Structure 1
Amino acid sequence: MRGAGGRIAAASPVHGLARRTVGFFDVLGQSVAALAPSAAATTIPMLTFAVAGAGSALAVTIAALIALGVAASINVFAKRVAAAGSVYTFVSLGLGPRASVASGAAMLVGYGLIAVFELFAAAHFVGHAFGAGPGVMLAAGAALGVLLLAVLLGGIRLSTRLMLVVEVATVVTLVAVIAVLLTVLPFDPVHLVPRVDEPDRIVLGVVVTMSAFVGFESAAALGVEAKRPFATIPRVLLWTVAVSGAVFVFVAVAGLVAAGTLGFDRLVNESPFDTIAQAYGVGWAGVALDVLIGFSFFAAAVAASTAFVRILFSMSREGTLPRAFGRTHRRTGVPMAATLACVPLVVAPVALRAAGMGLRDAMDTIVVAAVGSFVLGYVLVCAAVPPFLRRIGEATAWPVVRAVVLTAVLGASLVAFLVVAALSGQVNGVLLFGIALPAVVGVLAALRSAAGRPTRSVARDVPLPSDVLGGARTLAGTSGEPPRRRGGTP
């Protein structure tokens, strides 16, 4: 994108972030941690087994294919636009500023609530591994909150690399432990065959299992910081969904094998793999998994908070939110005010654990609202694909048809998900979705109206002289910042 008059811009509208400093594995760490495959694997038995029963593995497979389609639609934008706002920015480019308010609210509610739940769950699993009481779990939550702030303020490369190490270690251990458990479990292939007379349960299982895939798109929030964003981010999104989907299918199969002798009722609890391990005399494996899954949830909280902060940053640069949220630390490139505003919101609800709220209660309330918000964001970004491609003159049949079909499928899935949640007793989660989302939409719309016309229609990165072959470096190097006057600010 060129600046005014057809010239290469002297500074990026999103200057201040650590521009072009994050490599492939750092971006991968953000995407994998946000999806949190090992942590999500612990929720699949609670969510999918209770709904789909013997059709769980098939339901997980179908959900993975839908998630791959969503990733491909998001990649329509990720291959062409580098931005910190992810889905929020993409919807703005396709459907305009009014729809972007809805998508921005949906992603803020989604990332905010999922970060809350993940830190809550981290405290739960770490405490559960050692039989801790509510007081110790509260202390664990506070300590994890301090660690969350330290990691976020340490810079994007510190957080992404830490997240990747934690997630890889946890996934490898999870797969290894499940493989060991499968060697001691009696296996009957009949348990893997879904009942043909219950297709409705498989459909509901697909809808519920979609919750395991939310957050994978957060890698697009590093579009400004990635070294090769148009190649790296699309590849990361597809591989994250594909590999995580394979892990989820493997876990679902293991659950079905265990259910053949233990029954589904015993697996629908807050620590299903601990139940399996205890039942077959390898309790140490359940304790190890609880600790690792706790740290996996923590890494996911870091990833969700990272994406949340960058949406605040983008909205600030566009003039919707106060300018303070768009300021970054000169050395680390961290949006300081946005980070300091985010962490207390994420940490405070951990106190509910000490007040007696269990993991299942938190999931029924927080995760339902978060997943509903994410799916709404995916509906909007898929709907934005056709007008975006038409506007830039690149509309072709397959991406447009795929986006239209996914918009319809995801829209129906959102309605079905909320209905299923309400009918299964998760009314509080549906109410939270119905209250939080309109409230955030209203606040953003009011702020945008009060600010008048935003200073920039869309906050996204643009080519700089240092990006052009043979071009001179800007005075600010690769950060994309405008030159600084002596003793002053840009």
Structure 2
Amino acid sequence: MSTGLPDSGTPQRPGTSKPGLRRKSPDQLIAESGGDLEGHGLKRTMGLFQLVCFGVGAIVGTGIFVGLSDSVAEAGPAVVISFVLAAVTCVFTALSFAELGSAIPVSGSSYSFAYAALGERTAFLVGWCLLLEYGVSVSAVAVGWSQYVNELLNSLFGWELPAALSSGPADGGVVNLPAVVVIAMAATLLVRGVRESATATAAMAVLKIGILIAFCAVAFSAFQDDNLMPFATHGLGGITAGASLAFFSYIGFDAITTAGEEVKNPRRNIPLAILICIGVVTLLYCAVALSAIGAIGSDAVANESAALSIAVNQVTDSAVGGGIVAFGAVVAIASVVLAVMYGQTRILMSMSRDGLVPRVFERVSPRTHTPVANTWIVACVFAVPAAFVPLDVVVNLTTIGTLATMVAVNVAVVVLRRSAPGLKRTFRVPLYPVSPVLGVLFCLYLMYGTGWTTWVQFAVFLAVGSLLYAGYGRKRSRLVSSPATDPAAPVSPEA
């Protein structure tokens, strides 16, 4: 059974398709990753629990501990609706990720899915956008970690790091040293091995969920109904803008699919982990936002980047509770840096295998079974913006780039259903094709909410990516003369 039909409706010989439209069959993607065995030195060591913890570790962090104030500033108490709207967008797209992750369990995530369905040029641009989701967001998350480190030091010892060493030039400092430190710590752990990284991520995920649940218990004890009025402070526009910002809090759930080559029984565990993570995180976010606003009011939450610590301090009339929350934030955000950096290295590894980025990114250490050079390059590159750029500069650009990749994933589900109906899928999106179509529409709606300046920045970003593909990737692609360019290449029949 074919993986797709060319535009003419007739088969092409290998190597004759236009460069930007070259596609890889799902079978080839799986074969290159090692199939159901080990591939390229990677080892399958992660079970379902570790994968769920990895997903929670990638999601829960800066968005709720630091970014909550920005979302509340836009939407007021109606930020709860903003979180739900962002979650609905994630749910439709998560279903698409679950189907594709079960059908093509490889490390490339959105990039590999786009390569199989939409062609090489689109895949390269998806990988380019993933630099925003996985790379630039590491910088943003590290900046948020720095803020809570100061809050923790203040709670424990009554002092803070000098502004010159804890903020970038835009915030009155010189260099954000803690942000660089957390990236270096994550890189060190990642190069030691996936098992060690997964164990650390699981422990941190359990700890931060426990602290957020404890926060909700404390904050709800001081809940006042009047703090929810007026509810929609800035109307529907505020809710939409709040949802676009709140979406940043969900970024990372798709990192689960980047572990496709290091997960036991990936066709079963990847879809389950994605759906469990989205459900747990949505309930947690709505409870935290509602309890925080109910305890101290939306204005107080909007004006404090470390709003959760402030809320606990006010409710308990003590700095101890705020110190515990700050500790939870330090742990939570560190785990996000770890998980998201992991995702970035695996995306680059997949792109390197295809010749679209330099080969150094695909090299795996025979001793640790990890891409050591890849990890340290990512750490060094993204430590620079973490050291010098404030958080709010990159949040919207990261959000629109992530939403664009999710549009591609939803479209890929539709394309592969038509071009590769025999592909083995252990999970299928319900209500097809309504679900992926709604996923596209919700993503576009949130992209609209990021504002025109972000769209201009994103257009420039895509233009640069297109030039890089034309100047480097198109010429060095390993599909130039590969039989996999044959659109009549077979796929495995569905089990």
Q: TM-score range by the shorter chain?
A: 0.7 to 0.9
Mapped pair 1:12 → 2:34? yes
- CA drift of 1:334 comes to 0.7
Which residue is 1:163 aligned to?
A: 201
- CA drift of 1:383 comes to 1.3
For 1:437-464, what per-residue CA distance to the aligned partner results, in whole angstroms no more than 9, with x for missing partners? 4323422342212315537669xxxxxx
Match of 1:119 among 131, 137, 142: 142
Q: CA distance change for structure 1 residues 290 and 70 in 2, over 3 Å: closer, same or farther?
A: same
Match of 1:140 among 152, 173, 178: 178
**Cα pair 2:33 2:40 within 8 Å, conserved:** no
Match of 1:200 among 237, 242, 246: 237
Mapped pair 1:405 → 2:453? no
- CA drift of 1:397 comes to 8.2
Question: In structure 1, what is the Cα distance between the partners aligned to 2:121 and 2:179?
Answer: 38
Match of 2:121 among 90, 98, 109: 98
Which residue is 2:404 aligned to?
A: 376
Match of 2:469 among 444, 451, 469: 444
- CA drift of 1:94 comes to 1.7
Letter in 2 for 1:146: A
Q: What's the TM-score once normalised by structure 2's chain length? A: 0.80
- CA drift of 1:417 comes to 1.7
For 1:261-307, what per-residue CA distance to the aligned partner results, in whole angstroms no more than 9, with x for missing partners? xx515533211122223333132211221222122111111111111
Mapped pair 1:23 → 2:47? yes
Q: CA distance change for structure 1 residues 388 and 139 in 2, over 3 Å: closer, same or farther?
A: same
- CA drift of 1:181 comes to 2.8
Mapped pair 1:237 → 2:274? yes
Which residue is 1:318 aligned to?
A: 354
**Cα pair 1:16 1:330 within 8 Å, conserved:** no
Which residue is 1:488 aligned to?
A: none
Question: In structure 2, what is the Cα distance between the partners aligned to 1:135 and 1:277?
Answer: 28
**Cα pair 2:83 2:282 within 8 Å, conserved:** yes
Mapped pair 1:264 → 2:271? no
Letter in 2 for 1:32: V
Secondary structure of residue in 1 paired with 2:433 = helix
Question: In structure 2, what is the Cα distance between the partners aligned to 1:10 and 1:392?
Answer: 19
Which residue is 2:173 aligned to?
A: none
Q: CA distance change for structure 1 residues 109 and 454 in 2, over 3 Å: closer, same or farther?
A: farther
Which residue is 1:212 aligned to?
A: 249
**Cα pair 2:62 2:145 within 8 Å, conserved:** no
Residues matched between the structures, number: 437
- CA drift of 1:378 comes to 0.5
Letter in 2 for 1:133: P
For 1:88-134, what per-residue CA distance to the aligned partner results, in whole angstroms no more than 9, with x for missing partners? 11112121212112211111222110111112222221123212223
Question: In structure 2, what is the Cα distance between the partners aligned to 1:336 and 1:39?
Answer: 26
Mapped pair 1:273 → 2:297? no
Mapped pair 1:392 → 2:420? yes
| Structure 1 unmatched ranges of 5 or more | 423-428, 459-490
Question: In structure 2, what is the Cα distance between the partners aligned to 1:242 and 1:316?
Answer: 34
Question: In structure 1, what is the Cα distance between the partners aligned to 2:116 and 2:188?
Answer: 34
**Cα pair 2:70 2:245 within 8 Å, conserved:** yes
Q: What's the TM-score once normalised by structure 1's chain length? A: 0.81
Match of 1:89 among 98, 112, 133: 112
Mapped pair 1:175 → 2:198? no
Identity %: 20
Letter in 1 for 2:148: F
Q: CA distance change for structure 1 residues 39 and 171 in 2, over 3 Å: closer, same or farther?
A: farther
**Cα pair 2:84 2:282 within 8 Å, conserved:** yes
Tell which deviates more after alignment, 403-412 or 311-320. Answer: 403-412
- CA drift of 1:242 comes to 0.7
Q: CA RMSD in A?
A: 3.0
- CA drift of 1:323 comes to 2.2
Which residue is 1:76 aligned to?
A: 99
